[in-house]
Chains A and B, each alone.
Chain A
Protein backbone atom coordinates (compact mmCIF):
# COMPACT_ATOMS: atom_id res chain seq x y z
CA UNK A 1 0.00 0.00 0.00
CA UNK A 2 1.33 3.44 -0.89
CA UNK A 3 2.00 5.84 1.99
CA UNK A 4 -0.45 8.73 2.22
CA UNK A 5 0.54 11.92 4.02
CA UNK A 6 0.64 15.70 3.90
CA UNK A 7 2.13 17.05 0.67
CA UNK A 8 1.25 20.75 0.86
CA UNK A 9 -0.94 23.28 2.62
CA UNK A 10 -2.38 26.57 1.38
CA UNK A 11 -4.34 29.12 3.36
CA UNK A 12 -6.78 31.92 2.80
CA UNK A 13 -6.85 34.50 5.59
CA UNK A 14 -9.26 37.38 4.87
CA UNK A 15 -7.64 40.82 4.68
CA UNK A 16 -10.10 42.41 7.09
CA UNK A 17 -8.88 42.92 10.65
CA UNK A 18 -10.64 43.83 13.89
CA UNK A 19 -8.40 45.38 16.56
CA UNK A 20 -8.44 43.88 20.03
CA UNK A 21 -6.63 46.92 21.42
CA UNK A 22 -9.75 49.00 20.93
CA UNK A 23 -11.97 46.31 22.41
CA UNK A 24 -9.67 45.81 25.40
CA UNK A 25 -10.19 49.41 26.47
CA UNK A 26 -13.95 48.95 26.26
CA UNK A 27 -13.72 45.76 28.33
CA UNK A 28 -11.36 47.42 30.89
CA UNK A 29 -8.61 44.95 30.04
CA UNK A 30 -4.83 45.54 30.30
CA UNK A 31 -2.88 45.49 27.05
CA UNK A 32 -0.30 43.24 28.73
CA UNK A 33 -3.07 40.72 29.43
CA UNK A 34 -4.09 40.87 25.79
CA UNK A 35 -0.60 40.31 24.43
CA UNK A 36 0.84 38.06 27.12
CA UNK A 37 -2.11 35.87 27.98
CA UNK A 38 -4.67 35.89 25.19
CA UNK A 39 -2.04 36.47 22.51
CA UNK A 40 -4.38 38.04 19.96
CA UNK A 41 -3.79 41.67 18.92
CA UNK A 42 -6.11 41.65 15.94
CA UNK A 43 -8.53 39.17 14.44
CA UNK A 44 -8.99 38.26 10.79
CA UNK A 45 -12.59 38.96 9.77
CA UNK A 46 -14.19 37.90 6.50
CA UNK A 47 -15.95 40.44 4.32
CA UNK A 48 -19.69 40.77 4.85
CA UNK A 49 -20.40 39.33 1.42
CA UNK A 50 -18.13 36.35 1.94
CA UNK A 51 -19.49 33.08 3.28
CA UNK A 52 -17.91 29.84 4.44
CA UNK A 53 -17.84 28.27 0.98
CA UNK A 54 -16.06 31.36 -0.40
CA UNK A 55 -13.26 31.04 2.15
CA UNK A 56 -13.05 27.29 1.53
CA UNK A 57 -12.92 27.74 -2.25
CA UNK A 58 -10.24 30.45 -2.04
CA UNK A 59 -8.02 28.16 0.07
CA UNK A 60 -8.53 25.32 -2.40
CA UNK A 61 -7.86 27.64 -5.35
CA UNK A 62 -4.56 28.73 -3.79
CA UNK A 63 -3.55 25.12 -3.21
CA UNK A 64 -4.40 24.18 -6.81
CA UNK A 65 -2.36 27.08 -8.17
CA UNK A 66 0.55 26.48 -5.80
CA UNK A 67 0.74 22.78 -6.68
CA UNK A 68 -0.41 23.13 -10.32
CA UNK A 69 -3.23 20.69 -9.65
CA UNK A 70 -5.64 19.71 -12.37
CA UNK A 71 -9.25 19.74 -11.15
CA UNK A 72 -9.81 16.25 -12.53
CA UNK A 73 -6.94 14.86 -10.45
CA UNK A 74 -8.61 15.52 -7.07
CA UNK A 75 -10.30 12.31 -5.97
CA UNK A 76 -11.59 13.36 -2.54
CA UNK A 77 -12.67 16.69 -1.05
CA UNK A 78 -13.54 16.92 2.65
CA UNK A 79 -14.54 20.16 4.39
CA UNK A 80 -14.40 20.58 8.18
CA UNK A 81 -16.92 23.18 9.33
CA UNK A 82 -19.74 23.81 11.79
CA UNK A 83 -20.79 27.07 10.17
CA UNK A 84 -21.91 26.15 6.64
CA UNK A 85 -23.43 28.72 4.30
CA UNK A 86 -26.75 26.99 4.88
CA UNK A 87 -27.98 23.73 6.42
CA UNK A 88 -28.37 22.14 3.00
CA UNK A 89 -26.25 21.51 0.99
CA UNK A 90 -22.87 20.65 2.50
CA UNK A 91 -20.16 23.26 1.91
CA UNK A 92 -17.97 20.72 0.11
CA UNK A 93 -20.64 20.36 -2.59
CA UNK A 94 -20.57 24.13 -3.23
CA UNK A 95 -16.76 24.11 -3.38
CA UNK A 96 -16.79 21.04 -5.63
CA UNK A 97 -19.08 22.79 -8.06
CA UNK A 98 -17.23 26.10 -8.07
CA UNK A 99 -13.85 24.38 -8.59
CA UNK A 100 -15.38 22.18 -11.30
CA UNK A 101 -14.02 18.98 -9.78
CA UNK A 102 -14.79 15.56 -11.26
CA UNK A 103 -18.07 13.75 -10.54
CA UNK A 104 -16.02 10.77 -9.34
CA UNK A 105 -14.52 12.91 -6.57
CA UNK A 106 -15.70 11.82 -3.09
CA UNK A 107 -17.19 14.90 -1.40
CA UNK A 108 -18.55 15.43 2.12
CA UNK A 109 -18.36 17.66 5.22
CA UNK A 110 -17.24 16.80 8.73
CA UNK A 111 -18.94 18.61 11.65
CA UNK A 112 -16.19 19.23 14.19
CA UNK A 113 -14.59 22.32 15.73
CA UNK A 114 -11.05 22.75 16.99
CA UNK A 115 -10.22 19.01 16.87
CA UNK A 116 -11.47 18.91 13.28
CA UNK A 117 -8.19 19.14 11.41
CA UNK A 118 -6.61 16.09 13.04
CA UNK A 119 -9.89 14.15 12.93
CA UNK A 120 -10.19 15.17 9.29
CA UNK A 121 -6.69 13.92 8.51
CA UNK A 122 -7.59 10.54 10.01
CA UNK A 123 -10.87 10.35 8.09
CA UNK A 124 -9.56 11.38 4.67
CA UNK A 125 -6.48 9.20 4.96
CA UNK A 126 -8.55 6.15 5.97
CA UNK A 127 -11.05 6.83 3.20
CA UNK A 128 -8.33 7.17 0.59
CA UNK A 129 -6.60 4.00 1.76
CA UNK A 130 -9.86 2.04 1.67
CA UNK A 131 -10.84 3.35 -1.76
CA UNK A 132 -7.37 3.23 -3.31
CA UNK A 133 -7.31 6.98 -3.90
CA UNK A 134 -4.03 8.84 -4.35
CA UNK A 135 -4.92 12.56 -4.19
CA UNK A 136 -7.33 14.24 -1.79
CA UNK A 137 -7.85 17.66 -0.23
CA UNK A 138 -8.88 18.42 3.36
CA UNK A 139 -10.32 21.91 3.85
CA UNK A 140 -10.93 23.72 7.13
CA UNK A 141 -13.29 26.72 7.08
CA UNK A 142 -15.20 27.78 10.16
CA UNK A 143 -15.68 31.56 10.31
CA UNK A 144 -16.86 32.23 13.86
CA UNK A 145 -17.52 35.89 13.08
CA UNK A 146 -20.90 34.57 11.88
CA UNK A 147 -21.87 33.46 15.39
CA UNK A 148 -19.90 35.59 17.88
CA UNK A 149 -21.64 37.96 20.27
CA UNK A 150 -19.58 41.17 20.11
CA UNK A 151 -20.53 41.97 23.73
CA UNK A 152 -19.22 38.64 25.08
CA UNK A 153 -15.73 39.47 26.40
CA UNK A 154 -14.89 35.79 26.94
CA UNK A 155 -15.12 34.93 23.24
CA UNK A 156 -15.13 37.99 21.01
CA UNK A 157 -11.43 38.76 21.65
CA UNK A 158 -10.34 35.25 20.69
CA UNK A 159 -11.75 34.11 17.38
CA UNK A 160 -10.83 34.97 13.80
CA UNK A 161 -11.76 33.77 10.31
CA UNK A 162 -9.57 31.71 7.97
CA UNK A 163 -9.60 28.67 5.73
CA UNK A 164 -6.92 26.16 4.79
CA UNK A 165 -6.55 23.42 2.19
CA UNK A 166 -4.25 20.44 2.76
CA UNK A 167 -3.14 18.17 -0.08
CA UNK A 168 -2.95 14.49 0.87
CA UNK A 169 -1.11 12.32 -1.62
CA UNK A 170 1.34 9.43 -2.08
CA UNK A 171 4.43 11.66 -2.22
CA UNK A 172 4.17 13.38 1.16
CA UNK A 173 6.48 15.79 2.96
CA UNK A 174 5.04 14.55 6.27
CA UNK A 175 3.94 10.97 6.84
CA UNK A 176 1.38 10.47 9.60
CA UNK A 177 2.43 7.69 11.92
CA UNK A 178 -0.19 7.48 14.65
CA UNK A 179 -3.53 8.96 15.64
CA UNK A 180 -5.40 9.40 18.92
CA UNK A 181 -9.07 10.35 18.47
CA UNK A 182 -11.21 10.94 21.56
CA UNK A 183 -14.49 12.48 22.80
CA UNK A 184 -16.23 13.36 26.08
CA UNK A 185 -19.79 14.02 25.02
CA UNK A 186 -21.09 14.42 28.58
CA UNK A 187 -19.38 17.83 28.63
CA UNK A 188 -20.75 19.05 25.28
CA UNK A 189 -22.43 22.10 26.84
CA UNK A 190 -19.07 23.74 27.61
CA UNK A 191 -18.87 24.98 23.98
CA UNK A 192 -22.13 25.52 22.14
CA UNK A 193 -24.44 27.90 20.36
CA UNK A 194 -27.62 29.25 21.96
CA UNK A 195 -30.13 30.94 19.66
CA UNK A 196 -27.45 31.13 17.00
CA UNK A 197 -24.84 32.79 19.23
CA UNK A 198 -21.61 31.17 20.38
CA UNK A 199 -21.15 30.47 24.09
CA UNK A 200 -18.16 29.00 25.88
CA UNK A 201 -17.48 28.14 29.51
CA UNK A 202 -13.85 29.26 29.53
CA UNK A 203 -12.92 27.69 32.84
CA UNK A 204 -14.29 24.24 31.91
CA UNK A 205 -12.54 24.38 28.54
CA UNK A 206 -9.25 25.44 30.14
CA UNK A 207 -9.44 22.64 32.72
CA UNK A 208 -10.31 20.12 30.00
CA UNK A 209 -7.43 21.19 27.76
CA UNK A 210 -4.64 21.35 30.31
CA UNK A 211 -5.63 18.18 32.16
CA UNK A 212 -6.41 16.07 29.08
CA UNK A 213 -4.06 17.00 26.25
CA UNK A 214 -0.68 16.40 27.94
CA UNK A 215 -1.73 12.86 28.88
CA UNK A 216 -3.11 12.22 25.41
CA UNK A 217 0.10 13.39 23.77
CA UNK A 218 2.23 11.32 26.16
CA UNK A 219 0.11 8.22 25.43
CA UNK A 220 0.36 8.83 21.68
CA UNK A 221 4.14 9.07 21.90
CA UNK A 222 4.39 6.01 24.14
CA UNK A 223 2.43 4.04 21.53
CA UNK A 224 5.28 4.58 19.07
CA UNK A 225 8.06 4.23 21.69
CA UNK A 226 8.89 7.93 21.77
CA UNK A 227 9.30 10.45 24.57
CA UNK A 228 8.26 14.15 24.53
CA UNK A 229 11.93 15.17 24.35
CA UNK A 230 12.26 13.45 20.96
CA UNK A 231 9.61 15.64 19.32
CA UNK A 232 10.92 18.68 17.40
CA UNK A 233 7.71 20.72 17.40
CA UNK A 234 4.25 20.58 18.90
CA UNK A 235 1.51 22.25 16.90
CA UNK A 236 -1.31 22.68 19.37
CA UNK A 237 -4.70 24.16 18.64
CA UNK A 238 -4.29 27.87 19.32
CA UNK A 239 -7.07 28.29 21.87
CA UNK A 240 -5.06 31.13 23.39
CA UNK A 241 -1.42 31.79 24.19
CA UNK A 242 -2.20 30.92 27.81
CA UNK A 243 -3.59 27.47 26.97
CA UNK A 244 -0.64 26.61 24.71
CA UNK A 245 1.83 27.68 27.41
CA UNK A 246 -0.04 25.79 30.13
CA UNK A 247 0.03 22.57 28.10
CA UNK A 248 3.72 23.07 27.27
CA UNK A 249 4.46 23.47 30.99
CA UNK A 250 2.66 20.25 31.82
CA UNK A 251 4.49 18.38 29.08
CA UNK A 252 7.72 19.78 30.61
CA UNK A 253 8.85 20.95 27.20
CA UNK A 254 10.31 24.36 26.27
CA UNK A 255 7.84 26.86 24.85
CA UNK A 256 10.16 27.27 21.84
CA UNK A 257 8.90 23.90 20.60
CA UNK A 258 5.32 25.25 20.47
CA UNK A 259 4.78 27.72 17.63
CA UNK A 260 2.16 30.35 18.49
CA UNK A 261 0.59 32.14 15.52
CA UNK A 262 -2.57 33.88 16.59
CA UNK A 263 -1.33 37.42 17.15
CA UNK A 264 -2.66 38.82 13.88
CA UNK A 265 -5.49 36.43 13.01
CA UNK A 266 -6.94 35.00 16.24
CA UNK A 267 -8.14 31.51 17.04
CA UNK A 268 -9.38 30.27 13.66
CA UNK A 269 -10.89 27.05 15.08
CA UNK A 270 -9.98 24.03 12.89
CA UNK A 271 -7.62 26.19 10.82
CA UNK A 272 -5.14 27.05 13.60
CA UNK A 273 -3.10 23.84 13.24
CA UNK A 274 -2.78 23.84 9.42
CA UNK A 275 -1.96 27.58 9.42
CA UNK A 276 1.17 26.75 11.44
CA UNK A 277 1.84 23.48 9.63
CA UNK A 278 1.85 25.41 6.32
CA UNK A 279 5.05 27.12 7.48
CA UNK A 280 6.62 24.17 9.30
CA UNK A 281 6.33 21.93 6.22
CA UNK A 282 9.19 23.99 4.79
CA UNK A 283 11.29 23.90 7.98
CA UNK A 284 13.65 20.97 7.69
CA UNK A 285 14.58 21.21 11.36
CA UNK A 286 11.07 20.00 12.16
CA UNK A 287 11.45 16.28 11.50
CA UNK A 288 8.99 14.96 14.07
CA UNK A 289 5.90 17.03 14.77
CA UNK A 290 2.93 16.35 17.04
CA UNK A 291 -0.42 17.90 16.07
CA UNK A 292 -3.12 18.18 18.72
CA UNK A 293 -6.54 19.76 18.42
CA UNK A 294 -9.16 20.05 21.17
CA UNK A 295 -12.46 21.77 21.74
CA UNK A 296 -16.10 21.43 20.65
CA UNK A 297 -17.62 18.12 21.72
CA UNK A 298 -15.73 18.05 23.88
CA UNK A 299 -13.38 16.21 21.59
CA UNK A 300 -9.66 15.99 21.05
CA UNK A 301 -7.35 14.45 18.48
CA UNK A 302 -3.58 14.13 18.22
CA UNK A 303 -1.24 12.65 15.65
CA UNK A 304 2.47 12.25 15.00
CA UNK A 305 3.96 13.42 11.70
CA UNK A 306 7.42 12.54 10.43
CA UNK A 307 9.27 14.30 7.65
CA UNK A 308 10.03 11.88 4.84
CA UNK A 309 13.78 11.42 4.37
CA UNK A 310 13.88 12.36 0.72
CA UNK A 311 12.34 15.84 1.14
Chain B
Protein backbone atom coordinates (compact mmCIF):
# COMPACT_ATOMS: atom_id res chain seq x y z
CA UNK B 1 0.00 0.00 0.00
CA UNK B 2 1.37 3.41 -0.94
CA UNK B 3 1.08 6.79 0.74
CA UNK B 4 -1.39 7.69 -1.99
CA UNK B 5 -3.60 4.75 -1.04
CA UNK B 6 -3.51 6.01 2.54
CA UNK B 7 -5.47 9.06 1.34
CA UNK B 8 -8.35 6.74 0.48
CA UNK B 9 -8.22 5.07 3.89
CA UNK B 10 -8.15 8.49 5.56
CA UNK B 11 -11.20 9.52 3.51
CA UNK B 12 -13.03 6.29 4.43
CA UNK B 13 -12.35 6.87 8.10
CA UNK B 14 -13.16 10.59 7.90
CA UNK B 15 -16.54 9.81 6.35
CA UNK B 16 -17.18 7.12 9.01
CA UNK B 17 -17.57 4.44 6.33
CA UNK B 18 -17.45 0.89 7.66
CA UNK B 19 -15.20 -1.39 5.63
CA UNK B 20 -13.41 -4.69 6.15
CA UNK B 21 -9.97 -3.59 7.33
CA UNK B 22 -8.58 -7.13 7.38
CA UNK B 23 -9.50 -7.75 3.77
CA UNK B 24 -8.52 -4.27 2.60
CA UNK B 25 -6.30 -4.21 -0.41
CA UNK B 26 -6.22 -1.24 -2.81
CA UNK B 27 -6.69 -3.49 -5.82
CA UNK B 28 -9.82 -5.22 -4.55
CA UNK B 29 -13.20 -3.97 -5.69
CA UNK B 30 -15.02 -1.73 -3.24
CA UNK B 31 -17.76 -4.31 -2.84
CA UNK B 32 -15.22 -7.00 -1.90
CA UNK B 33 -13.93 -4.97 1.03
CA UNK B 34 -17.41 -4.26 2.39
CA UNK B 35 -18.01 -0.86 0.79
CA UNK B 36 -21.44 -0.77 -0.85
CA UNK B 37 -22.57 1.54 -3.64
CA UNK B 38 -23.95 4.21 -1.28
CA UNK B 39 -20.74 4.23 0.76
CA UNK B 40 -18.82 4.66 -2.49
CA UNK B 41 -20.85 7.83 -3.12
CA UNK B 42 -19.88 9.07 0.36
CA UNK B 43 -16.24 8.22 -0.34
CA UNK B 44 -16.18 10.14 -3.61
CA UNK B 45 -17.84 13.13 -1.95
CA UNK B 46 -15.31 13.07 0.89
CA UNK B 47 -12.43 13.02 -1.65
CA UNK B 48 -14.03 15.79 -3.73
CA UNK B 49 -14.50 18.01 -0.71
CA UNK B 50 -11.04 17.41 0.74
CA UNK B 51 -9.08 17.88 -2.48
CA UNK B 52 -11.33 20.34 -4.31
CA UNK B 53 -11.81 18.07 -7.33
CA UNK B 54 -14.89 16.80 -9.18
CA UNK B 55 -15.56 13.36 -10.66
CA UNK B 56 -18.06 13.23 -13.51
CA UNK B 57 -20.76 10.56 -13.20
CA UNK B 58 -19.32 8.42 -16.00
CA UNK B 59 -15.81 8.82 -14.60
CA UNK B 60 -16.87 7.77 -11.12
CA UNK B 61 -18.86 4.82 -12.46
CA UNK B 62 -15.71 3.44 -14.10
CA UNK B 63 -13.68 3.48 -10.86
CA UNK B 64 -14.08 0.16 -9.06
CA UNK B 65 -11.17 -0.05 -6.59
CA UNK B 66 -9.35 2.19 -4.07
CA UNK B 67 -6.22 2.03 -6.25
CA UNK B 68 -8.14 3.22 -9.30
CA UNK B 69 -9.60 6.06 -7.26
CA UNK B 70 -6.15 6.97 -5.99
CA UNK B 71 -4.72 7.07 -9.52
CA UNK B 72 -7.68 9.14 -10.78
CA UNK B 73 -7.11 11.58 -7.92
CA UNK B 74 -3.41 11.82 -8.83
CA UNK B 75 -4.33 12.72 -12.39
CA UNK B 76 -6.66 15.46 -11.20
CA UNK B 77 -4.11 16.92 -8.81
CA UNK B 78 -1.17 16.81 -11.24
Residues of A at under 8 Å CB distance from B? 30, 33, 37, 201-204, 206-207, 210-211, 240, 242, 246, 249
Q: Choose one: A30, A201, A240; the contact of B57 (CB below 8 Å).
A: A201
Is residue B42 contacting chain A, with contact meaning CB distance below 8 A?
yes
Name 26 interchain pairs, CB-CB below 8 A, sorted by A.
A30-B36, A33-B36, A33-B38, A37-B36, A37-B38, A201-B57, A202-B41, A203-B41, A203-B44, A203-B57, A203-B60, A204-B57, A206-B38, A206-B41, A206-B42, A206-B45, A207-B41, A207-B45, A207-B48, A210-B45, A211-B45, A211-B49, A240-B38, A242-B38, A246-B42, A249-B16
- Bound form: Cα–Cα A231–B45 in Å: 27
Residues of B at under 8 Å CB distance from A? 16, 36, 38, 41-42, 44-45, 48-49, 57, 60
Chain B contact residues, majority secondary structure: helix
Closest to B55 in A: A203
Closest to B61 in A: A203
Residues of A within 8 A of B44 (CB): 203
- Bound form: Cα–Cα A201–B57 in Å: 8
**Shortest distance between the CB of B14 and any CB in chain A (Å):** 11
Beyond A203-B60, A242-B38, 11 additional contacts (C-beta under 8 Å) are A30-B36, A37-B36, A203-B44, A206-B38, A207-B41, A207-B45, A210-B45, A211-B45, A211-B49, A240-B38, A249-B16
**Shortest distance between the CB of B57 and any CB in chain A (Å):** 6
Q: Considering the complex of A and B, which 6 residue pairs feature the smallest CB-CB distances, nearest first? A: A242-B38, A206-B41, A37-B38, A203-B41, A33-B36, A207-B45
